[in-house]
Amino acid sequence: MFQQAIDTVRAKGHAPSRYGNFIGGRWVEPIRGEYFTDHSPINGRQLAEIAKSSPEDVEAALDAAHRAKEGWARMAPAERAKILNCVADRLEENLELLALAETMDNGKPIRETRGADVPLAIDHFRYFAGCVRAEEGAISTIDDKTIAYHFREPLGVVGQIIPWNFPLLMAAWKIAPALAAGNCTVIKPASQTPLSLLLFAELTADILPPGVVNIVTGPGASVGRAIAANPRIAKVSFTGETTTGRQIMGYAAEHLIPQTMELGGKSPNIFLADVMNEDDSFLDKALEGFALFAFNKGEVCTCPSRALVHESIFDRFVERAVARVGAIRVGDPLDPLTQMGAQASEDQLHKILGYIDIGKQEGAECLTGGQRAVREASSTTASSSSPPCLSATTRCGFSRRRFLGRSCR
């Protein structure tokens, strides 16, 4: 199944074994000539070699973006909308290709990439193609001799940094509104999951004018900082972990660069005694909400990584909830029946298993799951674990930590 998927991506997506950066509408080798390997979390197989970029590559991307910004900004909104719709159409034509790439690179189930991630990314371009047609300025009358005009103008060149949990969808969330508003972008995907965005560049290279979208891959410590701290960036948008977000904000603040941050947080669900007054659809929905921590393998900042259950119903509710979690099907992400696939990376898996060990050391009891899941002999390197539920009091420090991954309670 995996070999067929990777063959499809390479053939239909014209995916090479080595990717440079996408700068000025073409593929460019990294200036320092360095690369890193992108492995699939499904089985550890190599997907491609990816440019390990440097601040010099970011400068080259900014050069291309600044060359393109005037022409793109002057383009009529109707024309920009037409291009965004063309992008959406091209992505829709290649939905299966992008879904396969996203699943192989991130480990999330193919049922989610086919049914949610890629369709929502497509819709985002269509949505903002419509928004830009309806965008208007305003006029305010100050007095009989004074009128204030309010114009909405592009910022110019923006920097965008995306995480590994929704690689293509997060890219669409950032690229589509930026382009609709008349901006050009330099965007960096997460090093764990660059493949779908690189395929996006290849698929849309003949649609988007050169320099409008520039993709630079590589480590966040150097490439991300080079984007966020660069005075030629008009705005920075970052989605990711809170500590990294603070760093990005600090880099941008050196040049008073505006920022948009989408950061993580602790996300408890509270279940009070009345949820078990009746064995009805409301209780079923509450149990579904409990099990939602496993959505996207727990790799969502809004997944409920804690459940605070009233002590009067604790035993009865947890028994039902653990049974619901135990029914989640863990398996090959390329199998349409799989509900939970592999973590985005081996590092992420070890982090989760480490947190489970910490919880046990602090007195938490593991009620189900919590161990590495080995599906078959050919997939022993898969970064998968069974969904865990841990029981602890609120005095346990473990219960107050934030997790991004197959979260525990």
Per-residue model confidence as pLDDT tens digits over 28-51: 999 999 999 999 999 999 999 999
pLDDT in the model for residue 361 = 84
Beta-bridge partners for 141: 147
Can you tell me the distance from the alpha carbon of 262 to that of 43, in angstroms, rounded to the nearest whole number? 31
pLDDT in the model for residue 239 = 94
Question: If we measure between CA atoms, which residue out of 258, 82, 25, 74 comes closest to residue 182?
Answer: 74
Catalytic residue ranges: 262, 301
Question: What is 387-401 written as a DSSP string?
Answer: PPEEE--TTSGGGGS
Q: Are strands 268-271 and 389-391 parallel, antiparallel or unpaired?
A: unpaired
Q: Which amino acid is located at 15 in the chain? A: A
Q: Which two tokens stand for residue 5?
A: 């998927």
Mean pLDDT of successive 10-residue stretches along the chain, which has 409 residues:
90 92 98 96 95 98 98 96 98 97 96 97 98 89 92 95 95 98 98 97 98 97 95 96 92 94 80 94 93 84 83 93 91 93 84 82 81 55 68 61 42
pLDDT in the model for residue 385 = 64
Can you tell me the distance from the alpha carbon of 128 to that of 177, in angstroms, rounded to the nearest whole number? 6
pLDDT in the model for residue 400 = 56
Enumerate residues 6+ apart whose C-beta is below 8 A from 294.
303, 325, 328, 339, 340, 387, 406
pLDDT in the model for residue 380 = 41
Can you tell me the distance from the alpha carbon of 168 to that of 112, in angstroms, rounded to the nearest whole number? 12
pLDDT in the model for residue 406 = 39
Three-state SS at 264: coil
pLDDT in the model for residue 266 = 62
* Cβ pair 119, 95 in contact under 8 A: yes
pLDDT in the model for residue 310 = 93
